[in-house]
Amino acid sequence: MTRLAVAELERRLAAALARRGLAAPAETAWAASWLCACAYPGLTILTEALADEVRAHPLSRDGLGLDLGHVSCVFLAPAITEDVRNHGRVFLRNVRHGLFLLPFSVRDGLAIGCPVDPAFALGGERSKDPYAEKLAHAQMAGIDVDEAALSLLEAAGT
């Protein structure tokens, strides 16, 4: 394990994701770093998602909500969050890496159901930020990062 400043992890991830041609590399890097700062497996989720062949899925609400087609939220989170801001609470189905929605929901004050369940709701209002203390500590002390995992993410983008 290596201790990195949150900004350093974000910078390194954004550069690696940009080299891979990933859309919104800075926002994806921010979310993965946010998860790491809160002791969630942000790098693991990112690595798994980048191995997926399918990275896009149309977001079209139906009578049951949004079917994400098992496409990773690493690629869909910003669009899902935008949909919820524009159209309100939604039930999500066939979700892969739903935990990746958590940083976006906290940032935007959206309530979230259980993001590890393959089907959950996103929307409504969040009344408090239970992660503020963890994030503040990570900003001060840095984040313990698996350097081998980070190196693999960086090397694959070159």
Assess whether pLDDT exceeds 70 at residue 85. Answer: yes
**Residue 139: enclosing H or E segment and its boundaries?**
helix 132-141
User: What is the structure's pLDDT at 128?
Assistant: 73
Where is pLDDT greater, at 100 or 148?
Answer: 100
* pLDDT band of 116, cuts 50, 70, 90: low
- With residues binned 3-state (H G I as helix, E B as strand, rest as coil), the percentages for the chain, rounded to 5, are 50, 15, 35
**CA distance linking residue 9 with residue 91, whole number of Å:** 32
For residue 74, give the nearest of 96, 105, 93 by alpha carbon.
96
Assess whether pLDDT exceeds 90 at residue 55. Answer: yes
> Is the pTM higher than 0.85?
yes
For residues 16-26, one letter each, b for 16 or more C-beta atoms within 10 angstroms of the residue's C-beta and e for the rest, the string is bbbeeebebbe
Assess whether pLDDT exceeds 60 at residue 157. Answer: no
Mean pLDDT of 75-80: 96
User: What is the structure's pLDDT at 19?
Assistant: 94
